[in-house]
Amino acid sequence: MKIGLGQINPTVGDLAGNSARIIDLIDEARHEKADLVVFPELCLTGYPPEDLLLKPKFIADNQSALEQVARAARGLAVFLGFVHQDKGALYNAAAFIDDGVIKEIYHKMHLPNYGVFDEKRYFREGNKSSVVDCRGQKIGLGICEDIWAEKGPYEEEVGLGADVILNINASPYHLGKVREREALLKQRAEKYQAAFVYVNLVGGQDELVFDGGSMVCDPRGRLIAACDQFREELLFVDLERDRLENWRWLEAEEEIYRALLTGLRDYVLKNGFGQVLLGLSGGIDSALTLALAAEALGKERVHAVFMPSQYTAEQSYRDARAVAANLGVELAEIPIKEVFAGYLNVLQPNFMGRPADLTEENLQARIRGNYLMALSNKFGWLVLATGNKSEMSTGYCTLYGDMAGGFAVLKDVPKTLVYQLANWLNKKRPVIPEAIIKRAPTAELKPGQTDQDVLPPYEVLDPIMQAYVEENKSAAEIAALGFDAPTVARVVALIDRSEYKRRQAPPGPRLTPRAFGKDWRLPITNHYKE
């Protein structure tokens, strides 16, 4: 049996575009004389469709799109995901189409309702496994979480004679997830002694990134075919003949970098923005953001603005110009000094002679945010915020200042990982000046300022943050790992009291199993303290 793995990048809500892409690949599969082509979970609607599922017209239109795909599927079989409405209930479903006829509709039996998943809000669980006959082969059907559940549909399907299992997915990315999937697929294939065909989405959807990595295992648990990560692909595999030797997934830095590129590119282009804008400070966060934007979108779509104050060092000028020149991005300069002085003059009677403090620092950040948003309004450019996860977690950022923007590319990237990615990128092509990487991080909002005036060193802060945010460890448990207890208490307190800021932050690509956004739902009004 020759099977096509249709690893596609659908757009949520674009029923016409998604179905047209599916039909194009069906035509290609027919030309290649494939017996069956398999597409991902909810590929007709895009994933996750969220509250679009509450619109009756959307459900009806999705059904019409399925019927259009079925009519186009003459001469081969197709398995793809859609939303099925039956007796008033909605199901995360998949249709098995053979020679233009919908032969079977499978309802997902195990609905995830943890982390970024909220499927029980919309769907009812299925209760029936499905086996279909195709070209003399018995094929079992399943969707995503069905393969993770210990009591999924596959044992019954294999008992009914299935020796090929199809599992279609919308499995979001986090670092290392593709290796977890591979290990699970091999285990399931060997356990059930059946070939497993696993097809995943690729692309960005708001905060989520889908990395693809579709694959096939034979009944002995050997990987015999795999699609690239972060790339649309129609890969054909012959279950009897194909073998895969020495396959390797992307290494960590490249995997993360490609995830960021995918999330950024799709957020910008799927939302109809032609160009982006960011503030380039001479620091490492904005330099890495600029490099990502130039590679994801092309340098001609990227604009950078340097906004110096009386506290801006000459090194910042040099480094900002250098990284912009290395990337071929034009750099505009708009000083904030006079506007800042005007603010202070106007506010002087209200400040009643009080000494300068964080207020004056935040004013500078907000002037810069105003400049960026003015350019965004005038030219229709999307502003990219440049803050990282370490800053976002501790509140070391300014509302309506450096947090201003439509998309935060580094939102789930800790500061130590920012340095790691910059060094990795420079090995590929040196674009970020070494002076930026070696310089002590600074917001340059007062004389001689560095981040470590307020925060612990990032090599201390980041593992504490990871333990607290991603692993849900208590302060006592983190201190028991060898960290200074007062430092842990300070970091935990900063994270807890910064929730109101994070609620107002722009979305950004999810890289970790628990990112701020869909994964993190703490109350703002919250009196629980450890």
pLDDT tens string 363-411: 999 999 999 999 999 999 999 999 999 999 999 999 999 999 999 999 9
pLDDT for 97-115, tens place per residue? 999 999 999 999 999 998 8
477 has a pLDDT exceeding 80:
yes
451 has a pLDDT exceeding 80:
no
Whether 144 is catalytic is yes
Q: What is the pLDDT of residue 388?
A: 96
75 has a pLDDT exceeding 90:
yes
**Section 234-252 average pLDDT:** 90
CB 293 within 8 A of CB 276: yes
**Section 352-357 average pLDDT:** 89
312 has a pLDDT exceeding 90:
no
- Where in the chain are all domains bearing CATH 3.60.110.10? 2-242
Provide, rounded to the nearest whole percent, the portion of the chain with pLDDT above 90. Answer: 89
- The whole-model pTM stands at 0.95
Q: What is the pLDDT of residue 442?
A: 80
Q: What is the pLDDT of residue 367?
A: 97
Count of residues in the chain: 530
Per-residue burial over 401-436, b = 16 or more CB atoms within 10 Å of its CB, e = otherwise: bbbbbbbbbbbbbbbbbbbebbeebeeeeebbbeeb
Cis peptide before 48 (omega within 30 of 0): yes
CB 261 within 8 A of CB 295: yes
Higher pLDDT pick, 241 / 84 = 84
530 has a pLDDT exceeding 90:
no
CB 449 within 8 A of CB 311: yes
DSSP class of residue 160 equals T
Of residues 2, 108, 186, 389, which has the active-site annotation?
A: 108
- Where in the chain are all domains bearing CATH 3.40.50.620? 256-455+498-502
28 has a pLDDT exceeding 90:
yes
Please state, as a whole number, how many other Cβ atoms lie within 10 Å of the Cβ of residue 314.
Answer: 9
Q: What is the pLDDT of residue 445?
A: 78
pLDDT band at 351 (very low <50, low <70, confident <90, very high): very high
pLDDT mean across residues, the chain: 94
CB 522 within 8 A of CB 500: no
CB 7 within 8 A of CB 232: yes
Of residues 43, 119, 134, 144, which has the active-site annotation?
A: 144
Q: What is the pLDDT of residue 521?
A: 86
Q: What is the pLDDT of residue 191?
A: 93
Per-residue burial over 230-244, b = 16 or more CB atoms within 10 Å of its CB, e = otherwise: bebbbbbbebeeeee
Q: What is the pLDDT of residue 440?
A: 83
Query: Pairing relation of β-strands 331-333 and 382-385?
Result: unpaired
The alpha carbons of the chain give a radius of gyration, in whole angstroms, of 26
419 has a pLDDT exceeding 80:
yes
Q: What is the pLDDT of residue 150?
A: 85
pLDDT band at 450 (very low <50, low <70, confident <90, very high): confident
Angle among Cα 341, 502, 414 to the nearest 5 degrees reads 95
**Section 242-252 average pLDDT:** 89
Q: What's domain 256-455+498-502's architecture?
A: 3-Layer(aba) Sandwich (3.40)
CB 146 within 8 A of CB 182: no
Q: What is the pLDDT of residue 192?
A: 94
Q: What is the pLDDT of residue 244?
A: 82
Give which of 324, 329, 210 is closest to 267, Cα–Cα: 210
Per-residue burial over 259-284, b = 16 or more CB atoms within 10 Å of its CB, e = otherwise: bbbbbbbbbbebeebebbbbbbbbbb
Widest CA span of the chain, in angstroms? 87
Give which of 224, 228, 203, 194 is closest to 214, Cα–Cα: 228
CB 212 within 8 A of CB 229: yes
362 has a pLDDT exceeding 80:
yes
449 has a pLDDT exceeding 80:
no
Of the given ranges (240-249, 342-351, 482-491), which has the lowest mean pLDDT?
A: 240-249
Q: What is the pLDDT of residue 526?
A: 87
Query: Pairing relation of β-strands 131-134 and 137-143?
Result: antiparallel
Whether 108 is catalytic is yes
pLDDT band at 474 (very low <50, low <70, confident <90, very high): very high
Of residues 2, 41, 255, 270, which has the active-site annotation?
A: 41
Of the given ranges (190-194, 243-247, 249-253, 464-468), which has the lowest mean pLDDT?
A: 243-247
Angle at which helix 15-31 crosses helix 56-72, to 10 degrees, equals: 20
Q: Where are the alpha helices (DSSP H) in 454-530?
A: 458-465, 475-480, 485-497, 499-502
Whether 415 is catalytic is no
Query: Pairing relation of β-strands 164-169 and 137-143?
Result: parallel
CATH superfamily of 2-242: Carbon-nitrogen hydrolase (3.60.110.10)
Please state, as a whole number, how many other Cβ atoms lie within 10 Å of the Cβ of residue 344.
Answer: 14
Task: Give the whole-angstrom CA distance, residue 114 versus residue 123.
Answer: 14
Bridge partners, 169 (sequence order): 200
Q: What is the pLDDT of residue 89?
A: 97
Q: What is the pLDDT of residue 121?
A: 95
